[in-house]
Structure 1
Amino acid sequence: MNSKEQPKGRLATLRGLLPFLTPYKKQFVLAGIALVVAATATLAIPYAFKQMIDAGFGAAGVGAAGAKGAAHIDLYFIALFGVACVLAVATAARFYMVSWLGERVTADLRGAVYSHVITQSPQFFETTQTGEVLSRLTTDTTLIQTLVGTSVSMALRNALLFAGGLVMLFVTSVKLSSVIIVLLAAVVLPIVVFGRRVRKLSRASQDRVADASALAGEILNAMPTVQAFTHEGDEARRFGSSVERAFETAILRIRARAALTVIAILLVFGAIVFVLWLGAHAVVRGSMTGGELGQFILYAAIVAGAIGALSEVIGDAQRAAGAAERLLELLAVRSPIQSPAQPEPLPARAANGAALTLRDVGFRYPSRPQTAALSRLSLDIRPGETVAVVGPSGAGKSTLFQLLLRFYDPQQGRIMLDGVDIRRLDLHALRGAIGVVPQDTVVFSANALENIRYGRAGASDEEVIAAAKMAAAHEFIEKLPRGYQSFLGERGVRLSGGQRQRIAIARALLKNPPLLLLDEATSALDAESERLVQGALQAAMAGRTTLVIAHRLATVQRADRILVMEHGQVIESGTHAELTAQGGLYASLAALQFSPDAA
């Protein structure tokens, strides 16, 4: 974080949490009432002790048979127990309310951050590791929970005890209280100095933990590759080094907090011991009663304990400020891809699919602004047309699909779906009109039925099974231990690559969109599965516009038109026969794949 941003780490950063606190004003009021009652009961205890000592054990309490003294003692002990009962009930109520608030606010914050992050465009994830986001959702929100559910309550309670105890100290003895106030003022400076250091180290510690989480997430998602290249030891050492850096930073933070605590306690109790020494001499001289000294000692202990607790709370608040800063940074990120304020509706769906038009589209990835991924690309695709897009790697084929889904916006030109600029469409309406079968198939940690139903949430079981049959997935799903109820494992690890791809195809077919994008949809299939899926796809293409990316040219020969891309431009267009006769790039690719010597 640069120097201009550092002021955000101050406790003022916590004001950014107010939108998450204000919906629960009623609970805060109830917690406040319980807090005030508990603090009042605590402050009443020393006064009750003073009365008991002076009235119960003093001259007023000594009678011929001690009856009057016994009556006083009974009365004050009953009153003291009554205060304890009030304190117990109020403390329990305060604990319940503030704990509820801590859990509720943390749940809301986690939900808000997660909901915000999943709306970000791919540009956000080019520079942000998912492990870091997960660290902020877990570790940082736990610190906020500690702050709201414990630290705020402790701070208010001890602030009340400090203020009330201070008033009662002056009521008891102005002279001794004046001395102790001067001495306690010396505690403020080290708390402020060390508090700033704790804040900086807290943020650094949280950053190192996030780094370790991001590294672990990346490696755990790539375990087959790590093990295939026998890098387990190297990765364990990398993670160990990252954890050690987090540990070393945490130790610096702990040392700073320990120094803050020891200085505060030594100064506070040193001042109290000195003042009590003065009070003892006052009792000996007869200028103060024993009960008053006892009361003064208890109030001094309450004030000292409140200061010590506040120093601890300040440390927690500093850590929470660092956590809040990181969470608010996430919430402040705004995706460059947004639905328009007044979106236009899509025209009614035509019987044969959607029309697609690109006009002089130019695009550069934000992470690679010097390289044009697409350059002045213009296309006209008729409703119901099947268009194949081929070309070498890096030609811009997958980029074209990302622009159609509006994961990015082109820097130049326009893309229109059924005559409407896709920037004028609601994002959900646009993406709802497009079905995608990606090259890297995503299978969720759920059963087969729910994985296919991801294509259309309200689909019935019968519709899901029909889509699976069209995608040639029904047969292998039926052979799973529990059929469609079988859990497919994290990222579909219980399925082969071809089976995962057929799940993805079934998901897209269930969605039944007017525009279908197939990105290497049959690349992971064996010959028999490819034959089955090709037949299913041919049936699925009926009544919709389809764009197909394929490296295996055998899968695109039946396309109405084939576009050959290179360096972000369409350099050839035509049918398989026409392009083969032209002798250009497509003919070269076809010769490599179809020639008897291709192997």
Structure 2
Amino acid sequence: MRPSISPLRQSLSSVSFGDLKLHREFTQTMTSRGLKNKETSETNLRKESGLSPLLVKALAKRLDKPAPSNELIRLFVMTKKEWKLLTMATILLLISSAITISIPYFVGELIEVVTTTVERMALAEGGGELPATPQEDIKIIGLELETFYFVAIGALAVCSLANFGKMFLLRLSNERMTARLRSLVYSKLIAKDAAFYDVIRVGDMVARLANASNAVARSFTLSTADGIKSIFMGGVGLGMMAHISLELTGIAMLVVPPLGFMMTVYGNKIKIIAQQSLGSVAALSRITEERLSAARTIQKLAGERQEIHRYNDQLRVVFDAGKRDGFAVASFTSWTELAGNITMLTLILYGGQLIMESSLSIGELTSFLMYAGYVSASAMGLTNFYTEIMKGAGAVNRFMELYDWQTNIKPTVGTKAPFILNSTPPEIEFRNVKFAYPTRPNSLILPDFSLKIPAGSSVCLVGPSGGGKSTIASLLLRYYDPVEGQLLLDGVEIREFNLRSLRKTIGVVSQSPGLLSDTIAENIAYGMEEKVSREKINQALAMADCQFVHELPDGIDTEIGPRGIRLSGGQRQRLAIARAIVRQPSILVLDEPTTSLDMNSQAAVNLALDNLLCRGNATTIMIAHNISTMRRTDKIILLNNQGRIIETGSFNELVLNKDSLFRKMYLDGMHGYMIEDFVNNRKLLPVHAP
């Protein structure tokens, strides 16, 4: 009997890919639970998780394109463009390390010369046979003392310059790689389809871009250099130790097997902790970003205390992850230091015994102990290197998970539509469209929607909330693709067109204007390929009834703040209309542009909409609940709460027809005003509804 898949279903139903397992672990989980091939995986995912076919297919693509079995390989591949700098840094590192590792040898030689000279002087003073060596005849590696001194200073200066070059190149490489990784993933994120943003939270993405990218870059630049240095100095040091005394080297090597075992256990543990730490930091960033952006709402509902508790709870999770990391590092470091100190003490005692037996000289023991110290430091360096590499391996999957996500809608694939080239409005047709959001696959928003909108005409979609009106606009903008059916522009399937060029011909004014933290001029000209002149911007502002702009101190160069927060709701909507006007769109989407505005703001926005609609060179879809906005379109499309069309006609036809569902629906909302007077645009007088 196949094991239960409910834990997997639970993780997938939340569709939080920030919390999904790494590709390899996810695939192993699928296999262990009986899902052994792609076809079976797709079938069971769709059946057990309740996800939509599109989302299941995206997951299947991820499973069909697994990450490398060893994360270290992927880290190595990602540094390919930095190999030149890293090679130069490595050469400088080897130069400085070679000079540094030679110091114990020369110190030993110096001690040998000094002890030999002292012994000869003592014998000479005591009447011995050996005469004292004149100072000018004392030589180290064939050099007189004064010459040796200046050569040593020169070598140390070269070592210092090599260290400078190495550190600068490594830091430069680290910064370049961090910037490249962030740019690479950001360029992918900005082009992801709407389904991606339905399941990945912005705060999580920000945390991964900021933290995981730096961890990945550091693990294979700065940390790799430390690892190479440790390997080189440890290997040479160990060789010199063996050259000086095989017995002492054998004693020192007794500590290697237990330390190797401890390093393996520690590395696996630190990798897991690193993943947990990055995940908890990402969750904290997500909470911070979401809650601070909704600060006014929180204050309005007196939820400050609740949010402080929420933040502190997550902060405690971050703290606990850091505490586990600190405990693991402290445990491993303390045990390795203890083992190193015991080994060093053993070497000193046994080395002293060898000196007394005349098997070893004082200079040789001194050199041996210094090399042992270097080897010990190199072992610690390798431990740190291994730790950073494991952290990088944990970070690379969290970071590249964003990059690897397979987007179903490709913005740069397809041809440019003829109506785009000719700047003419297209005919829009929805043909037997079925659609459900990927995160709610069992709830069909549009069960079987068909509608043809003639080129250059305007329709208004009305009906209860949840009836699919905004969904229709989203399909036209191709945030999503229909599950079944077709969306045609001039008789051609919308999937055939280059999405990026298509969207450039669509003007959008929505309930939320979507303004950016920039100047008014930059917001109006945003997304245009060619530079928009200030004259055209001012013309668009005039058509959108934006006289208020000229009353601002900096005019169109005024900074409007995040989401245009420094402007009123009506002002933001009129700027959005000006942005649509300057694009000269072939398709116009107006999604409840006057909702939540006061009467004066609605009047100003409606005037701007009149100027936009009177251009007559765009096929327009409007979504509205406000009667004064509805009546500006050629045709009304009434939908029920199941996404089906139940009535169509012009505004006047529907309102004057006493049997019209539209009339009954909106008569109830007019609180007893005479509909005929509204149709004739006369002053409204209160009456009793029949």
In which range does the TM-score fall when normalised by the shorter chain?
over 0.9
Please give the secondary structure, in 1, of the residue aligned with 2:589. Answer: strand
Aligned residue for 2:536? 463
Alpha-carbon contact 2:586-2:617 (below 8 Å) kept: yes
Name the stretch that deviates more: 121-130 or 239-248.
121-130
Contact 1:402–1:408 (CA<8 Å) still a contact in 2? yes
SS at structure 1 position matched to 2:425: coil
Match of 2:399 among 303, 312, 327: 327
Cα distance, 1:455 vs. partner?
A: 4.8
2:368 to 296, 302, 314: 296
Query: What is aligned with 1:25?
Result: 83
Match of 1:543 among 617, 642, 653: 617
Question: What residue in structure 2 maps to residue 590 of structure 1?
Answer: 666
State which drifts further: 56-65 or 428-437.
56-65
Of residues 128-137 and 76-85 in structure 1, the stretch that sits farther from structure 2 once superposed is 76-85
Q: How many Å separate the matches in 2 of 1:351 and 1:317? A: 55
Task: Write out per-residue CA displacement over residues 162-209 of structure 1, whole angstroms, 9 at most, x where no aligned residue.
Answer: 111111111111221122112333211111112211111111111111
Q: What secondary structure does 2:288 align onto?
A: helix
Letter in 1 for 2:116: G
Question: TM-score if structure 2 supplies the norm length?
Answer: 0.83
Aligned to 2:556: 484
Matched, 1:388 2:388: no
Q: Could you tell me how far apart the structure 2 residues matched to 1:484 and 1:344 are?
A: 33
Structure 2: which amino acid aligns with 1:470? M
For 1:35-114, list aligned pairs within 5 A: 35-59=93-117, 63=132, 65-69=134-138, 72-114=144-186
Q: Provide the aligned length of Structure 1 versus Structure 2.
A: 598
What code does the residue aligned with 1:549 have?
I
Kept after mapping to 1: 8 A contact 2:76/2:220: no
Kept in 1, the 8 Å contact 2:419–2:425? The answer is: no
Amino acid at match of 2:497: L
| Contact persistence 1:561–1:574 (CA under 8 A) | yes
Q: Does 1:234 align with 2:306?
A: yes
CA drift of 1:527 comes to 3.4
8 Å CA contact 1:563, 1:572 repeated in 2: yes
Q: Quick one: distance in 1 between partners of 2:603 and 2:424?
A: 25
How far apart, CA to CA, are the structure 1 residues paired with 2:411 and 2:516? Answer: 27
Indicate which of 624, 645, 648 corresponds to 1:570.
Answer: 645
- Give CA deviations for 1:544-595 in whole Å, capped at 9, x if unaligned: 1111110012212132111111211111111112222162331122312345
Distance 1:64 1:317, change over 3 A: closer
| SS of 1:370 mapped into structure 2 | coil
Q: Residues of 1 paired with 2:133 and 2:467: CA distance?
A: 110
2:232 matched residue in structure 1: 160
The question of whether the paired residues in 2 share the 8 Å contact of 1:48 and 1:80 is answered with no
Contact kept in structure 2, 1:358 and 1:380, CA below 8 Å: yes
Q: Residues 426 and 13 of structure 1: is their aligned pair in 2 closer, same or farther, counting only changes over 3 Å? A: same
CA–CA distance in structure 1, aligned partners of residues 224 and 68 of structure 2:
16
- Does the Cα contact within 8 Å between 2:504 and 2:528 map onto a contact in 1? no
Q: Is the contact made by 1:363 and 1:373 (CA closer than 8 Å) also made in structure 2?
A: yes
Query: Does the Cα contact within 8 Å between 2:508 and 2:580 map onto a contact in 1?
Result: yes
For 2:673 and 2:577, how far apart are their aligned partners in 1? 33
The Cα shift of 1:9 comes to 11
Whether the aligned pair in 1 keeps the contact of 2:589 and 2:621 (CA below 8 Å) is yes
Stretch moving more, 16-25 or 26-35: 16-25
Helix, strand or coil at the partner of 1:472: coil
Gaps of 5+ in 1: none
Deviations 1:260-319 (A, max 9, x none): 111112112321221222112111221112221111111111100000121122222222
Give unmatched runs, 5+ long, in structure 2: 1-19, 29-65, 122-131, 675-685
| Aligned residues of 1:151 and 1:316 also touching (Cα < 8 A) | yes
Q: CA RMSD in A?
A: 2.3
Write the distance in 1 (CA, Å) between the matches of 2:349 and 2:383.
25
Question: 2:201 & 2:415 partners in 1: Cα distance?
Answer: 32
Work out whether residues 172 and 296 of structure 1, in 8 Å CA contact, stay in contact via their aligned partners in 2. yes
- Secondary structure of 1:413's partner? strand
Give the Cα separation in 1 of the matches to 2:345 and 2:626: 87
Q: 2:542 & 2:416 partners in 1: Cα distance?
A: 36
Distance 2:299 2:607 in 1: 38
Secondary structure class of the residue paired with 1:58: helix
Distance 1:66 1:19 in 2: 58
Q: Percent identity?
A: 29
8 Å CA contact 1:471–1:503 kept in 2: the answer is: yes
- Report the CA distance between 1:597 and its aligned residue: 5.8
Query: What's the offset of the Cα at 1:77?
Result: 2.7
1:560 is aligned, of 634, 650, 659, to 634
Q: Distance in 2 between matches of 1:495 and 1:17?
A: 47
Would you say the 8 A contact 1:470–1:536 is kept in 2? yes
**Cα deviations by residue, 1:324-347 (Å, 9 ceiling, x for unpaired):** 110011111111212475535434
Does the alignment pair 1:211 with 2:301? Answer: no
What is the DSSP-based 3-state SS (H/G/I as helix, E as strand, rest coil) of the residue aligned with 1:394? coil
For the Cα contact (< 8 Å) 2:68–2:74, is it kept in 1?
A: no
Aligned to 2:409, what secondary structure does the other structure show? coil
Alignment of 1:273-422 (within 5 A): 273-339=345-411, 341-343=413-415, 345-347=417-419, 353-422=425-494
CA deviation string 1:441-472 (max 9, x = no partner): 21211111111111525211111111111111
Q: Are the aligned partners of 1:162 and 1:307 in contact in 2 as well (CA < 8 Å)?
A: yes
Instruction: State the match for 1:5 in structure 2.
Output: 25
Aligned with 1:509: secondary structure? helix
1:189 and 2:261 matched: yes
Counterpart of 1:257 in structure 2 is 329
1:136 corresponds in structure 2 to: 208
Q: Is the 8 A contact 1:269 1:304 kept in 2?
A: no
Measured in 2, the distance between the counterparts of 1:66 and 1:270 equals 40
The letter for the 2-side match of 1:417 is L
- Do the aligned partners of 2:458 and 2:634 also contact (CA within 8 Å) in 1? yes
Asked if residue 519 in structure 1 is aligned to residue 519 in structure 2, the reply is no
Q: Which moved more, 1:555-564 or 1:574-583?
A: 574-583
SS in 2 for 1:371: coil
Contact residue 434 and residue 515 of structure 1 kept, 8 A = yes
Q: Find the aligned partners of 1:491 and 1:276 in 2 and give their Cα distance.
A: 70
- Hey, what's the Cα distance between the residues in 1 that align with 2:222 and 2:69? 16
Return the alpha-carbon distance in structure 2 between the equivalents of residues 31 and 350 of structure 1: 56
- 1:114-134: CA deviation from partner (whole Å, max 9, x where unpaired): 111121112112221111111
Letter in 1 for 2:630: V
Q: 2:133 and 2:255 mapped to 1: Cα distance?
A: 47
Q: TM-score, normalised by structure 1?
A: 0.95
